[in-house]
Amino acid sequence: MHARRFNYVGPAEIRDEAVTLEAFAVRSATLLGDWLAGRGSADLEEPLTFVVTLNGDLKLAPRRSEHVALAAGQDLLAAGEMRFGRDASGWRVLEVTNQSTGYCPDPDCWPAVRESLDRLGMAHPGDFTDKVVFRRCPSCGERNIVRDDDFTCALCDSELPARWNFPPA
């Protein structure tokens, strides 16, 4: 199955002002564990920003990083936030979401996240722990997060479509 690509759909000024980050490109679970261990416990309480590149690689950066900067403006297979923890068996993903208002990925991007984590041998919850539903308003063009199954635009009160409707990459 061919994974859907997501392009940047956020504000142009954020894209234009985003500075490309020195992201941590995860090459192995061991290197990820070393990188996480070096971050300090207080820093690990917050999720990290993540993207899955078109070639399936996982990249991480501090939470307040823009996904578009982490991705160097490129299309993605998935984006969101990820929180890690350590137990007796090693590092694992505790929480993972598709929360990215710059790319607005549909929850159906989970397989790309799963495959990148499985390839690393990183334990994970098996699905997004919090699925964010994004829709673009057909009337005013605003990006919306659908809450409590209320498919109403937060800006103009128009009805939002049932299916993901951002422009294809």
48-106 pLDDT, tens digit per residue, is: 999 999 999 999 998 889 999 999 999 999 999 999 998 888 899 999 999 999 999 99
Alpha carbon distance 63, 162 (integer Å): 29
pTM: 0.92
What token pair was written down for 139?
A: 């009337």
68 near 32, Cβ under 8 Å? no
Which residue, chain included where needed, has tokens 């790319």?
A: 103
pLDDT at residue 80, as a whole number? 98
Alpha carbon distance 30, 40 (integer Å): 17
26 near 60, Cβ under 8 Å? yes
pLDDT at residue 2, as a whole number? 57
DSSP-based three-state secondary structure for 100: coil
Q: Has residue 109 got a pLDDT over 90?
A: yes
50 near 58, Cβ under 8 Å? yes
Query: If you average pLDDT over residues 31-54, what whole number do you get?
Result: 86
Between the alpha carbon of residue 86 and those of residues 13, 36, 44, 91, 149, the distances in Å are 38, 10, 10, 4, 34
What token pair was written down for 121?
A: 């041998």
Please give the sequence-ordered ranges of beta strands (E in DSSP) within 10-159, or none if there are none: 24-25, 48-52, 58-61, 78-87, 90-97, 133-136, 143-146
What token pair was written down for 46?
A: 């917050």
* Chain-centre distance for alpha carbon 159: 26
